[in-house]
Structure 1
Amino acid sequence: MKQQNATEIEHYLHSTEAQQKLYKRSLIVVIMSQIFGGAGLAAGITVGALLAKDMLGSASYAGLPTALFTLGSALAAFLVGRISQRFGRRYGLSFGFITGGIGALAVVLAATIDNVLLLFLALFVYGAGTSTNLQARYAGTDLASEKQRATAISIALVSTTLGAVAGPNLVTPMGKFAMTLGIPALAGPFILAAAAYLIAGLIFLIYLRPDPFLVARAIATEKDKQRLDKVNDGHQVLQSKLNRVGVVVGALVLILSHAVMVGIMTMTPVQMQNHGAQLSAVGLVIGLHIAAMYLPSLVTGILVDKIGRTFMVIASGVTLATAGVVAALAPGGSLFWLAFALILLGLGWNFGLISGTAIIIDSTDMKTRAKTQGTVDVWVALSGTAGGLLSGLIVAYSSYAILGFVGMYLALLLIPLMIWVRVKQKRS
């Protein structure tokens, strides 16, 4: 196997044309997989909180499903990162998606037999698909140049839109389909999630070869061998420190933007249902939210590459803060204003995700990139766990409006963070 991989990779080491062909081919595979991955992601977002509320009989724990599958995604992010670093993206991403598909099937079983403990375990495993869906964005960047990275990330994300937007709008049909099988309606979307995640995993396993990460790592190793050492040790130490700062800053951007997004998003379906909204209306609002999360990606990627990471991080903070204010002030029964808040929420998250990811890629090399990306995504997932769990408690013991204002304050922290980075860069 290793000999076969080495032979496949050798062809790409000295041919820029072959590298570009593989780069484009890898992007096509990522796009195919992400269409299905997006559909799997949408199920937990749309009905996870409602299913828990129905089975537990209390809105106080409505944030628990999001907390569980984001906690599961944290473990999966770690494992997918380590597997990808050692064996390549193909095995890491296929493992994550297939595991998520198994978890979705277990959610359906738990709802059918009304077993809360199995539901919790299943949601934890289902989270593997969530983190893998995010980590797939890195697969398109392995062979991209520095000026192509944000655009490559955006291509991976925008392809998620088709499945992610279709998923919530299939809630009602999948619910009816589930009921014909004797399964609770709210478990129906998880049937779709199981099929979608399993197909996404098989696409990576079958078609992502030769592995772009392994090729990029071999190219980097070859360049290191040929490169003359023209820099002094002091420059290397300074560059190493700047890279560590870059990873921390990129991670903080991802963590803050993700926590704000997950917290407000999680409790919006519950807020709508409490004010008499139908499940189809909830699906529409979440569908618009997910469209805003992914659809602007192509434009966002170009902006991040052209006008810079710093500007787009600040734009993320301002947009997320505005979303928090609109959500806080929106009447509970207003479909328009809640939809508008969640569209802004998705857009702000999109700005933060692409700019933060680009900062991390800029600050790593192929020797540690996949492992570092996986570790960062662990903290991102944990921030989602905290956001999902605390959002339910905040709403239960105060109000949805307070949750919106908390999100606003957290989002605004991104602005002083980037000011600090600029000052530190000038001093260095």
Structure 2
Amino acid sequence: MSGTAQASNGPAEERGTAPASTAVPDRATAALVQRRTVRVLMSAQVVAGIGIGSTLSSGALLVGRLSGSEVAAGFATTSATLGAALLGIPLAALSRSRGRRVGLGCGWLIATAGTLLVLLGAALGRAEPVLAGTLLLGAGTAANLQSRYAAADLADDGNRARALSLVVWSTTVGSVIGPNLSGPGESVAHALGLPGESGTFLFSAVAFLGGWALIWFRLRPDPLHLAAALARAESGHTGDGATAGISATPAPARFTTRTADALRHVRASPAALLGLLSLVLGHAVMVSVMTMTPVHLAHHGAALSVVGFTVSLHIAGMYALSPLIGKLADRIGRVRVILAGQAVYLGAAVLAGTAGAAHWATVTGLFLLGLGWSCVTIAGSTLLTESLATEQRSEVQGLADTLMNLAGALGGALAGTAVALIGYGGLNAAAAVLVLPVIVLALAPRARTER
């Protein structure tokens, strides 16, 4: 298309008056849009991530206080994980039919509604609305996860993993700041006559709305639609033969066929299957071991400061080194980094599983557990994305996140029983077994083709 057409499209997008059909740019213009997209996604992750981080423990504490039951308190985390699993595919389908801006934006708006429902339950002194609210908060987790895929929509082969990793890395800020809002939140809640544990949800509501505003007003042009239009133009499918532009909006898919279609696309690509399997099993390994590590440390006399330091170091392993891992995945390949992640998982299981009362070994093992998760999540997500056609990606990505959350919920739920039956060392050994299918598939000749 002409330079005039390109230039006229940009300001309209900046003003928020994007036309229904987005003109296809050349690759150079797409690269400029990609850089802007990554900056917007990182900003939204920082702002909205604070909301996710501030609700990690507050929901369980609030439900426990209102219900008087420790069992009910545990349902808060399970409810949020289940919400993320249930909403992952619908939000991904919405992204495919209406664009990332609508899909991600709706995720943050639903999470905002969840915080308001939690606050209503706190005001009424009832745990049921709080649990319903935490279910809706899962939409925030789903949007958080799907943001990494949005960063890869317009990226080229040489920097796709790095772009994805930058969005993952930006989550670090919210993970650090969010939990530290409990004190100020308690003061605000008491001033409003609410239980102290509900105060952080006020901050979360503001953070989620901030994330929505950044996505809604700044994520223009939409990266997924632009990538679809660019792929169609480069393959020569221009619909009516127009050369000045092409409709960038894919046709919506029927809800009943989305999951079946996604599974069919994955089965057709060994590389996509490897990416999906590494994400799901890797998340199960991480959540199951992490869930019981604080209990293990406390059982061996660790102070709360040691437990807190271990969790912080684990989170640092998950996010802090993401840009370096993304660069590595772009340089040496996605499959090699997935295999490196499995090796790190095995090292973590050996260290933590044989640590006993040696706190340093448990702490080191948990850092490696987070690092392994980072390798698998970045390389696996990148491999899954680039192994599929553009129009297939959003449903499969939503399915991947849904299965990740379900696997994490199942792993966390079974971890306590596993420790009771076979001990913390046995739990780590069982988690290590989950690494083996990924290694076998990664070393299979067909799956080693990354595109």
Alignment TM-score, normalising by the size of structure 2: 0.80
Q: 1:311 aligns with which of 336, 346, 355?
A: 336
Q: 1:102 aligns with which of 94, 108, 113?
A: 113
Match of 1:345 in 2: 369
Match of 2:321 in 1: 296
Q: 2:387 aligns with which of 363, 375, 378?
A: 363
| CA pair 120-337 structure 1, distance change in 2 beyond 3 A | farther
Match of 1:234 in 2: none
Q: Secondary structure at the match of 2:390?
A: coil
Q: Does 1:221 align with 2:245?
A: no
The alpha carbon displacement at 1:356 in A equals: 0.7
Match of 2:271 in 1: 246
The alpha carbon displacement at 1:145 in A equals: 0.6
Q: 1:87 aligns with which of 75, 98, 101?
A: 98
CA deviation string 1:31-61 (max 9, x = no partner): 1001023222323444555555666666666
Distance 1:276 1:177 in 2: 35
Q: Secondary structure at the match of 1:101?
A: helix
| CA pair 203-393 structure 1, distance change in 2 beyond 3 A | farther
Alignment of 1:59-208 (within 5 A): 64-111=75-122, 113-208=124-219
Structure 2: which 5+ residue stretches go unaligned?
Answer: 1-11, 239-264
Q: Secondary structure at the match of 1:387?
A: helix
Given that residues 143 and 212 in structure 1 are in contact (C-alpha distance below 8 angstroms), is that contact kept between their aligned partners in structure 2? yes
| CA pair 77-7 structure 1, distance change in 2 beyond 3 A | closer
User: Match of 2:334, as an amino acid?
Assistant: R
Q: Does 1:287 align with 2:312?
A: yes
CA deviation string 1:74-95 (max 9, x = no partner): 1221111101101100000010
The alpha carbon displacement at 1:65 in A equals: 3.1
Match of 1:354 in 2: 378
Tell me: higher relative CO, structure 1 or 2? Use CA pairs within 8 A at least 6 residues apart: 1
Q: Which moved more, 1:358-367 or 1:114-123?
A: 114-123
Distance 1:58 1:396 in 2: 21
Given that residues 66 and 388 in structure 1 are in contact (C-alpha distance below 8 angstroms), is that contact kept between their aligned partners in structure 2? no
Q: Secondary structure at the match of 2:22?
A: helix
Q: Does 1:258 align with 2:283?
A: yes
The alpha carbon displacement at 1:27 in A equals: 0.9
Distance 1:280 1:169 in 2: 15
| Structure 1 vs Structure 2 CA RMSD | 3.2
| CA pair 193-401 structure 1, distance change in 2 beyond 3 A | farther
Distance 1:118 1:24 in 2: 41
Distance 1:206 1:403 in 2: 46
User: Match of 1:381, as an amino acid?
Assistant: N
The alpha carbon displacement at 1:275 in A equals: 7.2
Q: Which moved more, 1:13-22 or 1:395-404?
A: 395-404
User: Match of 1:375, as an amino acid?
Assistant: L
Q: Secondary structure at the match of 1:145?
A: coil
User: Match of 2:401, as an amino acid?
Assistant: D
Q: Secondary structure at the match of 1:142?
A: coil
The alpha carbon displacement at 1:150 in A equals: 0.5
The alpha carbon displacement at 1:112 in A equals: 5.3
Q: Which moved more, 1:125-134 or 1:178-187?
A: 178-187
Structure 1: which 5+ residue stretches go unaligned?
Answer: 228-239
Q: Which moved more, 1:394-403 or 1:30-39?
A: 394-403
More helix by share: 1
Distance 1:297 1:55 in 2: 39
Q: 2:46 aligns with which of 30, 35, 40?
A: 35
Distance 1:318 1:157 in 2: 21
| CA pair 368-424 structure 1, distance change in 2 beyond 3 A | closer
User: Match of 1:167, as an amino acid?
Assistant: G
Given that residues 149 and 305 in structure 1 are in contact (C-alpha distance below 8 angstroms), is that contact kept between their aligned partners in structure 2? yes
Given that residues 33 and 203 in structure 1 are in contact (C-alpha distance below 8 angstroms), is that contact kept between their aligned partners in structure 2? yes
Q: 1:387 aligns with which of 411, 428, 449?
A: 411
| CA pair 338-42 structure 1, distance change in 2 beyond 3 A | farther
Given that residues 255 and 380 in structure 1 are in contact (C-alpha distance below 8 angstroms), is that contact kept between their aligned partners in structure 2? yes
Q: Which moved more, 1:318-327 or 1:146-155?
A: 318-327
Q: Which moved more, 1:173-182 or 1:187-196?
A: 173-182
| CA pair 226-217 structure 1, distance change in 2 beyond 3 A | closer
Identical pairs, percent: 35
Distance 1:56 1:392 in 2: 22
Distance 1:119 1:377 in 2: 24
| CA pair 35-16 structure 1, distance change in 2 beyond 3 A | same
CA deviation string 1:308-328 (max 9, x = no partner): 122211221222233334444
Match of 1:378 in 2: 402
Distance 1:271 1:189 in 2: 28
| CA pair 144-265 structure 1, distance change in 2 beyond 3 A | same
Given that residues 51 and 187 in structure 1 are in contact (C-alpha distance below 8 angstroms), is that contact kept between their aligned partners in structure 2? yes
Distance 1:111 1:282 in 2: 29
